[in-house]
Amino acid sequence: MKLKNIKFGIFCALVILFQIISCEKSDEEGEGWTEIPGFKGRDIRIIHAFESSIYVAADSIYVSSDDAKTWKSISTGLPNLPYWWVRSFGSLSVNDTTYLFVGTFVDGIYRSADKGLSWQTVYDKDSTFITALGSCEGVIYAAVSQHLNWYTKLCYSTDRGQNWIESAHIQQTVATDFVSLGHTVFISTEHRGVMISRDNGQTWTSTWNSETQTSDVGLFTERIDALTTNGKDIFAIGLNNIYYSTDGGYQWVTVVPESFSPTGNDAAMKDSTIIVYRYVSHNYGRTWLDVSEGLPHPNLLYPYVSALTIFGNKVYFGLGTDGLWVNTSIIKH
């Protein structure tokens, strides 16, 4: 009888252990995605978190300030929005006022000083294509391409977008993303690696050496689709590689998931966790997990992550026309 009780106790302990391991494995593999109603079919292009709100750009610009429970459109004053019209999104907080910036396909930059209730044009030169927007220490930055002619101007404004200063011209490339790390500003490009400014946008250097046609710092000339930072380290997401810098962009190393495929065009980072498309690493890119289990991909081998962000301890994925999804198990509490 005693032996039977011991065996039963061991069996129960093994069952509990298996359940714990299964839960941990389920969390690590990204199971537990929940679709947020109302976004299916809207072709999500951008998800942007700022202060206590999260913004989504699709057929309109939507905002939620209650942890994604309710959403409202904030496109009053903007032109009619085809799904491809909004190309970049930026935000800036000055003297307790939140300024939102929308970069468009042919209509320049729009700004809102009342959290999206109304918008005004602040940059509309020559049918400009605004490919990237960002802010750093009270300065708003914009990457401007005219008529998609592979010629980019890097501009910045110190007065909340009222006036713009051109600080650099880049030939034969288009900028794709923007982040700031302390006083340093980074802009990724399609064929010139990453452009870096360490003096508030006044001058720029490139990780790509145009004279030798090589990279002196370990970051190649392939297309860089996205940049992300945790405030200390920075990742650059290439077409075939992922690059990581711990020294403010002076040197880069490659950290690539096995069987890496570019199924998206966005990335996000919090502490040691980096999310690139459908891949997640909790140790600065040393090992990676595919967290796409449970996400729809009706016409593709894997889900296409068109936009993503980390907001608090939640991860939000935009899957183009396949909706907006949230996961609470990826970010470790």
Q: What is the CATH number of the domain that holds 315?
A: 2.130.10.10
The SS3 assignment for 11 reads: helix
Shared domain for 263 and 182, answered yes or no, is yes
> Is the pLDDT confidence value at 1 over 50?
no
On whether residue 332 sits in a domain, the answer given is no
Determine the average pLDDT of the residues in 138-156: 82
Shared domain for 146 and 70, answered yes or no, is yes
Mean pLDDT check: name the lowest of 58-67, 162-171, 203-212.
203-212
> Is the pLDDT confidence value at 9 over 50?
no
Shared domain for 303 and 158, answered yes or no, is yes
On whether residue 211 sits in a domain, the answer given is yes
Q: Which helix (H) or strand (E) holds 23?
A: helix 2-28
Confidence of residue 25 (pLDDT cuts 50, 70, 90): very low
On whether residue 144 sits in a domain, the answer given is yes
On whether residue 111 sits in a domain, the answer given is yes
Residue 10 has what pLDDT?
A: 42
Q: Is the dihedral of CA 66, 72, 78, 79 positive or negative?
A: positive
> Is the pLDDT confidence value at 233 over 90?
yes
> Is the pLDDT confidence value at 13 over 80?
no
238-258 burial, b if ≥16 CB within 10 A, otherwise e? Answer: beebbbbbeebbeebeebebe
Shared domain for 3 and 112, answered yes or no, is no
Shared domain for 6 and 59, answered yes or no, is no
Question: Mean pLDDT, the chain, as a whole number?
Answer: 83
Shared domain for 68 and 208, answered yes or no, is yes
Residue 241 has what pLDDT?
A: 85
Determine the average pLDDT of the residues in 274-288: 93
Shared domain for 124 and 8, answered yes or no, is no
Residue 210 has what pLDDT?
A: 57
Residue 5 has what pLDDT?
A: 45
**Considering the entire predicted model, what is its pTM?**
0.85
The residue segments making up the domain with residue 230 are 34-327
Shared domain for 15 and 127, answered yes or no, is no
On whether residue 333 sits in a domain, the answer given is no
Residue 18 has what pLDDT?
A: 36
Shared domain for 1 and 129, answered yes or no, is no
The SS3 assignment for 252 reads: coil
Partners of 270 in the β-ladder: 273
Shared domain for 125 and 10, answered yes or no, is no
Total domains in the fold of the chain: 2
On whether residue 266 sits in a domain, the answer given is yes
- Taking the CA atoms of residue 113, residue 117, residue 120 and residue 126 in that order, the dihedral angle to the nearest 10 degrees is 110
Shared domain for 282 and 310, answered yes or no, is yes
Structure tokens at 77: 């004053």
Residue 135 has what pLDDT?
A: 92
On whether residue 118 sits in a domain, the answer given is yes
For residues 213 and 210, give the distance between their C-alpha atoms in angstroms, rounded to a whole number.
Answer: 5
Partners of 209 in the β-ladder: 214
Shared domain for 9 and 49, answered yes or no, is no
Strands 72-73 and 151-157: unpaired
